[in-house]
Amino acid sequence: MKLKQLVLALAAAAPFVAHATDGYFSHGYGMQAKGMGGASTAVAESAFGAASNPATMAFAGDRWEIGVDLFSPWRKASRTGGAMAGLDGSVDSGSNYFAVPEFAINRMVSPTMSVGLTVYGNGGMNTDYDGGQLPSPGACGPATGPGTGFNPQPGPYNLLCGTGSLGVDLMQLIIAPSVAFKVAPDHAIGIAPLFAYQRFEANGVDAFAGFSTSPGDVSNRGYDNSTGYGVRVGYYGRIAPGFALGAGYASKMSMSEFDKYKGLFAEQGGFDIPSHWSLAATFHASPTTLVTAEYQRINYSDVASVSNPSSLLGNCLSGDASACLGGSNGAGFGWQDIDVFKLGVQWQASPTMTLRAGYNLSDNPIRDEDVTINILAPGVVRHHITVGGTWKLDSASAVTVAAMYAFNNDVEAPSFFNNFAPLGMTEKIEMYQYAIGVQYSTRF
């Protein structure tokens, strides 16, 4: 298959991409990294450097890699304390399996310069809850006519007082050409322009139309698309025998608006991709054992629709239109910036077999006061363990596998609906995940 055809095929697979590990970013890119807790900024053994540190590509050699990850997030939301008002309910999300394709190629055009291309799913979020958890016709507001309740339509309602099924579907695909230069025999810098495609849909949040600057563009508008751009830069250096350092930085990606959801996302449908950066070190504990440690910072505060607190809806009720959904400073999901720590180990067990293991610790971006709106996006997992391995098929080709398990985590806090029915209700969102992937690679 020609390179252009392969890239187009992966772009066509974009609707299947969904991640929610380190917030809504993937825990790693490329199966070697995914087997080591996602750590890759100071490891120069993969063509996926443009997804973390493009400078490593100057040492990766001529190679291409193609893989797919079967990712499975399990999400649940519940409310208690509102039984008298008919507001208690519990629901598990459907849509629990997603195929995440990835592709990378690197070419040494000279002993000191490489060019490459990486195509990967940056991240995403998906929830797909059945409706009908609140069967009482008046649970979310009287059914006697428009404008008489939080949701004037008759029930049954979903857990956010909307009609029908409830959920969101967000995916992000990035195409990253790269170039890397050795500025000295053991040091390199790299740059990768980033071109992004996003797809989004929201259903069942129609009850929030009254909090919006554009009530008809909040929910059930089908899929909308967004494109944009940014850049990633990096440094990689072998500081001493068996010891290397790496650093990578990706700018905020400026994305076009989701016009169909200009009444949901702040800034009339704005949904940029936040900046993030990483620092890492790698050392060889023995001739056959590599250990790598990495720190990553993801700046969700770059994006108003992600980081603005949902409490701004109170300002909206008080007449501040800028704080309403879709407003110039509109309410969002209240996500905080997060720190991520990654630790990976690689052991050359034999000339044909390499084994890997890793651990990834991520902050939970969701604050207690934003639990209600994050029923839609419960990206709360923190602890991830990974394993993986590579088996050489011949002198040039290999198969790599990786598996990840993210332990169940939850956030439980008072409900936003206490503002309308002061019953002391609490809500809990929770998630756990697992993934298994396979990759084929060859040198040329």
Per-residue pLDDT tens over the stretch 90-119: 999 999 999 999 999 999 999 999 999 999
Q: Is the predicted pLDDT of residue 159 greater than 60, yes or no? A: yes
Please state the φ and ψ torsions of residue 310, each to the nearest 5 degrees: -70, -15
Query: DSSP character for 251?
Result: P
Chain centroid to CA 386: 17
Model confidence at 7: pLDDT above 70: no
- Burial level of 241, CB count in 10 A (0-12/13-18/19+)? exposed
pLDDT tens profile 165-186: 999 999 999 999 999 999 999 9
Amino acid letter at 403? A
CA distances from 214 to 178, 179, 262, 268, 273 (A): 40, 43, 7, 9, 23
At 148, is the pLDDT very low, low, confident or very high (cuts 50, 70, 90)?
very low
The C-alpha atoms of residue 443 and residue 36 are separated, in whole angstroms, by 22
pLDDT of residue 260: 98
Contact of 74 with 96, CB cutoff 8 Å:
yes
Reply yes or no on whether the pLDDT at 19 is more than 80: no
Task: Determine how many CB atoms are found less than 10 A away from the CB of residue 105.
Answer: 19
Question: What residues does 346 pair with on adjacent strands?
Answer: 290, 356
C-alpha span between 250 and 233 (Å, rounded) = 7
Whole-angstrom distance, CA of residue 122 vs CA of residue 232? 13
Residue 138's pLDDT band (cuts 50, 70, 90) = confident
Would the pLDDT of 443 be above 90? yes
The DSSP H or E segment spanning 315 is helix 312-317
Angle at 364 between CA 361 and CA 368, to 5 degrees: 155
pLDDT the model gives residue 141: 73
What percent of the chain has a predicted confidence (pLDDT) above 70?
94
DSSP class per residue in 379-409? ----EEEEEEEEEESSSSEEEEEEEEEEEEE
What's the token pair of residue 75? Answer: 């999400």
Handedness of CA 34, 39, 42, 48 (dihedral sign): positive
DSSP 60: T
Count CA atoms within 13 Å of residue 391 on its CB side.
5
Structure confidence at residue 143 (pLDDT) = 42
**Maximum pairwise Cα distance, the chain:** 77
Which of 62-76, 190-204, 415-429 is predicted with the least confidence, judged by mean pLDDT?
415-429
First to last CA, the chain: 16
DSSP 15-57: GG----SBTTB-S-SSHHHHTTTT--TT--S-S-GGGT-GGGG
C-alpha–C-alpha distance, residues 304 and 435, integer Å = 30
Domain 3-130+165-443 of CATH type 2.40.160.60 = yes
Q: Where are the domains of the chain?
A: 3-130+165-443
Q: Give the other-Cβ count within 10 Å of 293's Cβ.
A: 17
Average pLDDT over residues 389-402: 97
pLDDT tens profile 229-243: 999 999 999 999 999
* Strand pairing report for 89-92 and 383-392: unpaired
The per-residue pLDDT for 9 is 53
